[in-house]
Amino acid sequence: MPLMMPPVPRTLRKGPAWQIAELFPDQGDWDQEDYLLLNGMTNRFVELVDGRIEVLEMPTKSHQKRARILADAIDAFCQRANISGETVMGAYPVRTIAGRYREPDVLFAFDPERLGEDFGEKPDLVAEVVSSDRGRDLIKKRREYAAAGIPEYWIIDPEKRRVIVLTLKGGKYVPLGEYGPNDRAASKVLKGFDIDAGLLLA
């Protein structure tokens, strides 16, 4: 005899499809396979942190434009300089430390083999446009990207009108430079690459 689902109460016939949500693990029980399955079903920014799913706010138009400007500038520089590599924009997961996946706004890797179809590992540069959850980008991700051994981290902070470029030293990030709207932000990993910080902050 086929298993019959109980009827959905009339009060639950509108709003979220709770029965679909029940197909997924409880918070605290998510693993890599569950996370990647969910990530492939949505274009939302979703991160995995120690068995828990974190759904990030949808990026605004200006947020996306800033990320696109940086990604396009990196691509153009690499083409001019004949540098091989690959640039990817979010939402695309990167495995950082055990049990954690983050979705940077922009990432670059000299070796495209590190960037698989479903997720990447050990990119050479990541960038975040600071959102309303400032602690996530300025503290949590700074600590985590450093622990993952990612050599360079760009933080685009429109609220404070600054672009911070961090480089890895002794397992921790140290400032390579902090740039305002009238400065050119420069990279150490991509030698010779710089960009008008004002374009990223406009």
| 3-state SS, residue 16 | coil
- Cβ–Cβ under 8 Å, residues 120 and 93: yes
pLDDT at 35 over 70: yes
Q: How far are the Cα atoms of 147, 173, 174 from residue 170, in angstroms, in the given order?
A: 10, 8, 9
* Percent of residues, the chain, with pLDDT higher than 70: 90
Q: Output the pTM of the full model.
A: 0.84
pLDDT recorded at residue 11: 53
> To 5 degrees, how large is the angle CA 62–CA 67–CA 73?
125
Return the domain boundaries, the chain. 11-55, 61-201
CA 118, CA 138: separation in Å to the nearest integer? 26
Q: How far are the Cα atoms of 66, 87, 105, 137, 174 from residue 56, in angstroms, in the given order?
A: 18, 22, 12, 12, 27
Q: What is the pLDDT of residues 21-32, one digit of tens each?
A: 777 778 888 888
CA 89, CA 126: separation in Å to the nearest integer? 10
Q: Which residue in this structure is represented by tokens 């309303």?
A: 132
pLDDT recorded at residue 56: 81
Q: Which of 22-26, 81-85, 153-157, 165-169 has the lowest mean pLDDT?
A: 22-26
Q: Cα-flanking dihedrals φ and ψ of residue 105, to 5°? A: -70, -35
pLDDT band of 91, cuts 50, 70, 90: confident
Q: Are strands 94-95 and 120-121 parallel, antiparallel or unpaired?
A: parallel
Q: Report the topology of domain 61-201.
A: tt1808, chain A (3.90.1570)
Give the single-character DSSP code of 115.
B
One DSSP character per residue, 39-73 reads HTT--S-EEEETTEEEEPPPPPHHHHHHHHHHHHH
pLDDT at 181 over 90: yes
pLDDT band of 2, cuts 50, 70, 90: very low
pLDDT recorded at residue 79: 96
- Locate 104 and state its tokens: 């940077």
